[in-house]
């Protein structure tokens, strides 16, 4: 499965990559902000996106909105420190499928990825 | 006149009547003698008219008419010899034909040298054969399975011939060839002869086979080059300096091995032994048996038996050195499953080192694993400390703190997940060492002063000669003890020898404690006070 990690923190991307690797997903592309991600999605054709909210150049919410205009089916998990209910609702409205609030444990991230993929497969 | 002509025309036959020769003797009037008469006369001698060579007869007659006083002679008819069939035969490929010739010559020369009939060959100078190593020039014809070495040809029928009288000369049919071979050779339906096993190809007459054993009648020297053979090797004489004998099976040398290299994946038997002059080397995949070893380096994967002496050698035995009649003098001898010898060292005080119950590679592996544990513990402690700090900072976290918390939780999980496999690996390695070793030295006659015994985590320097039979081993707490095998009385070794804890080998008891979380890694590094 092709997965794209969008986060301005390299450490955070490495943590997520390690969790994905333990789940058996090794095909991973990285982007450092929304703009970088938009330039890569066309060629990479990801099947799952893990997106941070607060990033320079283009934040995660703007990226989700833009991406959803062209692709409605690829699952997106928002991984962010934004924990307020209103923010979560904004993200869901923009087209996010699941939400992980930082700080998270590797187990929690792993659980969210698995449940998101299972839901999307069931819906398809 | 006709009778007169008859008498003057003499016909004779060559072997098998394949030619007819006519001689015209003087006395015939050439005017009355014509070609037809002569042809008729030749035919009347029983020669097949179809086979008479008329131009030859004409020429003969002309020659006679030119000089009737001398007489002439010539072949006037020729038959055709039978072409006999060829016998069936084995035709070797040029490559093997040549290789087998070389092998025969080398064996002859090797035997002649061994019997003193020829001088031993010397290494050729580089000027004669630039770039050629005469050590590597093996004359033996070694084959792998599935190699085509030749072809058996069927006998042929042959073609009949006829004599000058038209009588058939029957051709003889070729005799069939019966290839003598065993299971090591396959004769295929199309006649190709293919090897079935790895070994030395032998060919004599109709016999072809692959020998699983390479038997060298003389020395391994320049007449043989290095020996590399997949099967058993038997050397009837010895192995000269700098030569290599390498086998995937057993090696047996009946006479002396000099500063050579013997490498076997199975047993090695040296009827006499090795005089290695600090250059000889033995790599033995199973057991070694020798009369003596001198100035040799040996790695033995199995057990070792040396009848007389091990002098100034560096010997490592993975099994047991069980040689109750052998003296170890000088050098270093290590045996993972213990040593039993007649004596260690000499009255003259030769420094002799014996190491018992060690497998250095596994011990180093265990040491490396044990060193990872405190490093992981340190990572864990640091991350957990910072996690506690952040937790006490209040419920509401800044974005930066939330990210740091995620990183710390990942660090904790990662260190914890690495810790258990490392501990398991360490414990498994220690178990393997425990099962594969026996820290025990049994000396039947004397353990001389200046001998050094490495056992457990200790180095014991023998200061005064100890009389056997005795055993040095470890007690339940891992300390070296000396047992008098006559009385079975036991004393701590440190009472009669200088015993010190050394760091040359890891302290396995300390590693065990680390694996169980009972001790820090510093313990095994500390020499005893």
- pLDDT band at B34; cut points 50, 70, 90: confident
Nearest chain A Cα distance for residue B489, angstroms: 59
Q: For A98-109, write each residue's pLDDT tens digit.
A: 999 988 888 888
pLDDT of residue B528: 36
pLDDT of residue B4: 65
pLDDT of residue B431: 92
CB contact under 8 Å between B402 and A81, yes or no, is yes
Cβ of residue B206 closer than 8 Å to a chain A Cβ: no
Q: For B410-468, write each residue's pLDDT tens digit.
A: 888 888 888 889 999 999 999 999 999 999 999 999 999 999 999 998 999 999 999 98
Judge whether residue B525 has pLDDT over 60: no
List the single residue in B397, B399, B406 with the smallest CB-CB distance to A15.
B406
| Optimal mutation site among A52, A100, A102, interface B, most CBs of chain B within 10 A | A102
The percentage of residues in chain B with a pLDDT greater than 70, rounded to a whole number, is: 94
Q: For B114-157, write each residue's pLDDT tens digit.
A: 788 887 766 554 444 555 566 767 788 889 999 999 999 999 99
Cβ of residue A84 closer than 8 Å to a chain B Cβ: no
Residue, of B92 and B517, whose pLDDT is higher: B92
> What's the average model confidence in pLDDT over B230-259?
96
List the single residue in A81, A105, A106 with the smallest CB-CB distance to B399.
A81
Q: Is A103 helix (H, G, I), strand (E, B) or coil?
A: coil
Residue, of B374 and B309, whose pLDDT is higher: B309
- pLDDT band at B392; cut points 50, 70, 90: confident
- Is the Cα torsion angle B53, B58, B62, B64 positive or negative in sign? positive
pLDDT of residue B529: 31
Q: Report the chain B residue with the minimal C-alpha distance to residue A79.
A: B403
Cβ of residue B389 closer than 8 Å to a chain A Cβ: no
CB contact under 8 Å between B406 and A54, yes or no, is no
List the single residue in A12, A103, A106 with the smallest CB-CB distance to B413.
A106
Question: In order of start, what are the domains of chain A with their CATH numbers?
Answer: 3-123 (3.40.50.2300)
CB contact under 8 Å between A105 and B402, yes or no, is no
Cβ of residue B397 closer than 8 Å to a chain A Cβ: yes
pLDDT of residue B125: 44
Nearest chain A Cα distance for residue B385, angstroms: 16
- pLDDT band at B477; cut points 50, 70, 90: confident
Residue A60 and residue A53 in contact, taking contact as beta carbons nearer than 8 Å: yes
B101: tokens are: 């010739």
Cβ of residue B413 closer than 8 Å to a chain A Cβ: yes
| Contacts (Cβ under 8 Å, ≥6 apart) of B95 | none
CB-based burial label for B214 (10 Å; 0-12, 13-18, 19+): buried
Q: Report the chain A residue with the minimal C-alpha distance to residue B387.
A: A103
The complex's ipTM works out to 0.79
Domain ranges (residues) in chain B: 2-79, 84-121+134-160+168-211, 213-302
Residue B113 and residue B120 in contact, taking contact as beta carbons nearer than 8 Å: yes
> CA B56 to CA B74: how far, in whole Å?
8
Q: Is the preceding peptide bond at A98 cis, omega within 30 degrees of 0?
A: no
Find the range with the poorest average confidence among B15-29, B417-431, B512-526.
Answer: B512-526
pLDDT of residue B134: 66
Judge whether residue B283 has pLDDT over 60: yes
- pLDDT band at B242; cut points 50, 70, 90: very high
**Considering only CB atoms, which chain B residues are within 8 Å of A15?**
406-407, 410
List the single residue in B406, B413, B414 with the smallest CB-CB distance to A102.
B406
Q: What is the mean pLDDT of chain B?
A: 89
CB contact under 8 Å between B405 and A11, yes or no, is no
Residue B448 and residue B432 in contact, taking contact as beta carbons nearer than 8 Å: no
Q: For B479-488, write each residue's pLDDT tens digit.
A: 999 999 999 9
Nearest chain B Cα distance for residue A56, angstroms: 15
Q: For B38-76, write each residue's pLDDT tens digit.
A: 898 889 888 998 999 999 999 999 998 888 888 899 999
CB contact under 8 Å between A11 and B413, yes or no, is no
Per-residue pLDDT of chain A (124 residues; tens, 9 = 90+): 899 999 999 989 998 998 899 888 989 999 999 999 999 999 999 999 999 999 999 999 999 999 999 999 999 999 988 878 898 899 999 999 999 998 888 888 889 999 998 988 887 7
- Is the Cα torsion angle B388, B390, B394, B395 positive or negative in sign? negative
């Amino acid at each position: 499965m092709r997965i794209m990690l969008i986060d301005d923190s390299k450490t955070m991307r490495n943590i997520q990559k390690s969790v994905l690797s333990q789940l058996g997903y090794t095909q991973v592309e990285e982007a450092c902000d929304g703009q970088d991600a938009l330039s890569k999605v066309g060629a990479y054709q990801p099947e799952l996106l893990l997106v941070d909210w607060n990033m320079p150049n283009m934040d995660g919410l703007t990226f989700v909105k833009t991406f959803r205009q062209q692709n409605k089916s690829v699952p997106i998990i928002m991984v962010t420190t934004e924990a307020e209910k209103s923010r979560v609702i904004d993200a869901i409205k923009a087209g996010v499928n699941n939400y992980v609030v930082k700080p998270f444990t590797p187990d929690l991230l792993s659980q969210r990825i698995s449940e998101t993929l299972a839901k999307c497969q069931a819906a398809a | 006149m006709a009778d007169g002509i008859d008498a003057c025309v003499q016909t004779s036959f060559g072997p098998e009547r394949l030619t007819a020769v006519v001689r015209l003797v003087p006395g015939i009037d050439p005017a009355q003698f014509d070609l037809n008469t002569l042809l008729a006369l030749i035919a009347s001698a029983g020669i097949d008219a179809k086979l008479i060579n008329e131009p030859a007869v004409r020429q003969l007659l002309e020659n006679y008419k030119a000089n009737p006083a001398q007489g002439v002679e010539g072949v006037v008819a020729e038959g055709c010899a039978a072409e006999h069939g060829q016998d069936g035969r084995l035709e070797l490929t040029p490559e093997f034909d040549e290789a087998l010739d070389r092998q025969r010559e080398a064996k002859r020369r090797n035997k002649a040298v061994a019997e003193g009939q020829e001088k031993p060959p010397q290494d050729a100078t580089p000027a004669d054969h630039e770039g050629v190593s005469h050590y590597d020039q093996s004359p033996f014809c070694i084959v792998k399975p599935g190699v085509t070495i030749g072809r058996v040809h069927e006998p042929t029928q042959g073609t009949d011939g006829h004599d000058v009288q038209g009588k058939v000369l029957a051709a003889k049919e070729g005799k069939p060839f019966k290839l003598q071979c065993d299971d090591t050779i396959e004769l295929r339906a199309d006649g190709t002869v293919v090897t079935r096993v790895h070994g030395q190809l032998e060919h004599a007459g109709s016999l072809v086979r692959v020998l699983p054993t390479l038997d060298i009648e003389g020395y391994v020297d320049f007449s043989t080059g290095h020996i590399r053979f997949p099967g058993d090797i038997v050397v009837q004489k010895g192995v000269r300096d700098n030569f290599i004998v390498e086998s995937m099976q057993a090696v047996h040398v009946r006479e002396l091995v000099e500063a050579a290299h013997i490498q076997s994946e199975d047993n090695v038997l040296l009827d006499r032994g090795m005089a290695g002059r600090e250059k000889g080397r033995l790599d033995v995949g199973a057991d070694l048996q020798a009369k003596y070893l001198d100035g040799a380096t040996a790695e033995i994967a199995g057990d070792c038996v040396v009848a007389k002496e091990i002098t100034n050698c560096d010997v490592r035995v993975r099994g047991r050195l069980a040689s109750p009649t052998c003296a170890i003098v000088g050098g270093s001898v290590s045996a993972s499953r213990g040593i039993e010898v007649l004596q260690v060292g000499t009255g003259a005080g030769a420094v002799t080192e014996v190491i018992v119950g060690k497998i250095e590679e596994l011990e180093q592996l265990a040491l490396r694993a044990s060193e990872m544990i405190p490093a992981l513990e340190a990572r864990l402690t640091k991350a957990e400390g910072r996690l506690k700090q952040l937790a006490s900072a209040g419920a509401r976290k800044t974005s930066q703190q939330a990210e740091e918390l995620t990183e710390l939780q990942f660090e904790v999980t990662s260190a914890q997940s690495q810790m258990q496999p490392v501990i398991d690996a360490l414990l498994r390695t220690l178990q393997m060492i425990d099962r594969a070793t026996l820290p025990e030295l049994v000396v039947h006659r004397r353990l001389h002063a200046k001998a050094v015994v490495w056992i457990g985590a200790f180095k014991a320097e023998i200061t005064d000669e100890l009389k056997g039979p005795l055993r040095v081993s470890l007690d339940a707490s891992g300390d070296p003890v000396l047992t008098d095998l006559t009385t079975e009385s036991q004393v701590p070794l440190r009472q009669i020898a200088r015993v010190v804890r050394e760091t040359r080998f890891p302290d396995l008891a300390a590693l065990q404690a680390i694996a169980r979380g009972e001790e820090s890694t510093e313990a095994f590094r500390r020499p005893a006070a």
